[in-house]
Amino acid sequence: MNAFSNAVDTCLRELRKVAGVSVTYVRGGVRVEVDAIPSEVFDEPVTDDYSVARPIDTVNEYAFRVSVDDLRTLGEPQDGDKIFQTIPGRSLRYTVAPLESGQDPFVYVGTGRKWYRVRCVLDGETVHA
C-alpha cells in the first residue's frame, strides 16, 4: 500500500472515532454491528457540460463509509442489504441501493480498497415516544 492509501485509511479511522455512528448491517439472517461514517450522497453522475444528470433527492439518499474489515463476514455490499440506525427517539432503516441500475451499490474509498462508501436510501423511520 502506498503513502496516499495509508493517509486515507488513517484519516477515515480517525473520522470514525469522532463522527462515527453505530449501525447494524443486515443481509438475510446475518447481522453485523459496525461503526460507520454517515454522509449524504454527493457523487451524482454529471453530463458533459458538468450539470447534474438527474435530480438529486437530498432527503432520502445517503451513504455510509464502512471498513472492509468490518464487513469481512458478508463480503462486498449488495443491493437490498439493510442498515439499521437508532438515534435518540428514532429508529432508521436504510436499504442499500446503487446510484444507477446495473451499478454496484458501493465504491471503494481511496486506492487501498480498505473502505467502502455504501449508497443507500432511507426507507423507514419509527419515532419512539
Torsion angle defined by CA atoms of residues 109, 115, 118 and 122, in that order, rounded to the nearest 10 degrees: -110
Give the range of the structural domain holding residue 44, as residue numbers without chain letter: 3-127
| Beta strands at 106-109 and 90-96: parallel, antiparallel or unpaired | unpaired
Evaluate if pTM is beyond 0.85. Answer: no
Domain count, the chain: 1
Spatial distance between the Cα atoms of 41 and 33, rounded to a whole number of angstroms: 22
Q: Which CATH number do you get for residue 95?
A: 2.40.10
pLDDT band at 56 (very low <50, low <70, confident <90, very high): very low
Residues 27-37 have pLDDT tens digits of: 999 999 999 99
